[in-house]
Amino acid sequence: MKKNVLLNPFAKIEDKKLLTLGLIAYIIGIFIAFSMKMELQILRINPLSTIDLPKILLNHSVITICLSLAFFGIGKIINKKTRFIDILNTVFIAFIPYYISLFQNINGYLTNETEKVMDALRQGTILNHTPSFLFIMVTLVGLLFFIYYIYLLFIGFKTATHSKKIWHYVLFFATLVVIDLIVSMIINSI
């Protein structure tokens, strides 16, 4: 049963419980991002040199609203019975592994290690640079959390819209990339 919940929580847990869990995770996630000095975007995580809780809250709200509205819009194209709460729950719940992945930056670890790699790139010594085993493992774990985040977005969208056709999935991924670009421009202009 628990394995099935991890594979598709949207089909196993009622929408009001998902919404409650999602809202709690949203609030906790903002504080995790603040304490780890990381900024979430849809398809990337950026380290912050200066932290500003209101800006993190605003950015995360823009991401959540834009993703929810975009997926709801294409959900209505696919299935007129698509409900906004199901799409909103999808966005809220999908972000949970993303929040967990922010712990990669405890004590600025990920920021420092990434800066070492960027310095090697700038100096042209990247071929001689060997990242630490811990950095490689942290990066791989972060990648797994990112893949699970995308999977949850996809499976939640699929469950909410009852999509079954290839063009539905293409539309989902195209919308994800386009909305990422739009939201990035919005966040960078704030």
> What is the pLDDT averaged over residues 43-72?
92
Contacts of residue 100, Cβ cutoff 8 Å, sequence gap at least 6: 145
Query: What's residue 91's pLDDT?
Result: 97
Q: Inform me whether the pLDDT recorded for 3 exceeds 80.
A: no
- Kindly indicate the confidence band of residue 12, based on its pLDDT and cuts at 50, 70 and 90: confident
Query: What's residue 83's pLDDT?
Result: 96
Q: Inform me whether the pLDDT recorded for 158 exceeds 90.
A: yes
Question: Look-up: residue for tokens 């949850």?
Answer: 152
> What is the pLDDT averaged over residues 25-42?
94
Burial class from Cβ neighbours inside 10 Å (0-12, 13-18, 19+) for residue 118 reads exposed
Least confident range from 27-31, 98-102, 115-119: namely 115-119
> What is the pLDDT averaged over residues 114-122?
88
Q: Inform me whether the pLDDT recorded for 1 exceeds 90.
A: no
Per-residue pLDDT reduced to its tens digit, 131-143: 889 999 999 999 9
Per-residue pLDDT reduced to its tens digit, 68-85: 999 999 999 999 999 999
Question: Coil, strand, or helix at residue 45?
Answer: strand
List the structure tokens of 23: 């809202």
- Please name which of 96, 88, 87 lies closest in space to residue 24, comparing C-alpha atoms: 96
Least confident range from 9-13, 62-66, 88-92, 172-176: namely 9-13
Provide the whole-model pTM. 0.91
